Amino acid sequence: MSLITPLRDERTLVLQLRDAISALIEEQGLKPGDQLPTEAELTRKFQISRPALREALKLLEQDGAIYVKHGKGRFVSAAAALQVERPITCFESVTDMMHKSGYRPINKVLSISEEVASGEAQEALRLSPGSRVIRLERLRMQGEEVLVYCLDYIPRSIISDRLYDIDWSGSLLDLLERHDMRPRMSTAIAASVMLPHDVSERNDLHDFGPAFLITETAFTPTGVPVVFAKDYHRGSRFSFSFVRK
């Protein structure tokens, strides 16, 4: 049976295949220097075309996860064995991230509104002047402690429901999936900041302390921007990790 979910564009198929091969390396316990299965074996296993497989293998080679010995095959590199607990390059929902960090968060909706996109949101979401967005403001909490302050902007054009008919305390990514617009990747900028003063005042978050701000634009597999987000993580509760190559 194929491990690859049927997809609408070849680029996303190649990315999924790359991830599936990475998972295979881990599942089979392949170590640095071990040889990968042959192209023929991989095409049979994943039921995929040889050109798509080669593109995925090329991406893994560019990432430094595998290397080629001409005439002998492809081998696992030392970089493939490097694991980090919470890679900053991983695209995931804030809820999933918090679960992986050991929290069981609840979402508290502070406000939900429809408004004309600001210049920043308009640029990030590639909207025309005057386009409208949904502005969603939430707190992610563990018990009574606020761990993340989240501000999301979604193009109004992709969600036809009335705002008050939607449960905004649930997963935003799941909501977008129901509209065939679930994001799979993003671009982001990280910075150390304090919470905006008005946010601290309105929500009595004077003890929040330094925050790790991730400003992120999330895209569908076809490159359509669907969320512009600003997530302020409580600096004393989160850390990120990464591999340098």
Distance CA 192, CA 121 (A): 21
pLDDT at 243: 61
CATH class for the domain made up of 10-81: mainly alpha
Residue burial 31-61, b: 16+ Cβ < 10 Å; e: rest: eeeeebbeeeebbebbebeeebbebbbebbe
pLDDT at 7: 38
Residue 173 CB-half CA count within 13 A: 14
The pLDDT of 131-140, averaged and rounded, is 97
Label residue 238 by pLDDT band (50, 70, 90): confident
Spans of all domains in the chain: 10-81, 94-234
**Tens digit of each residue's pLDDT (9 = 90 or more) over 211-226:** 999 999 999 988 999 9
pLDDT at 42: 94
The per-residue pLDDT of the chain, averaged, comes to 87
Nearest partner of 177 among 227, 214, 127, judged by Cα: 227
The pLDDT of 44-52, averaged and rounded, is 90
pLDDT tops 60 at residue 2: no
User: Considering only 58-67, 90-99, 206-215, 233-242, which range has the smallest mean pLDDT?
Assistant: 90-99
Nearest partner of 212 among 226, 224, 230, 186, judged by Cα: 230
The fold for domain 94-234 equals Chorismate lyase (3.40.1410)
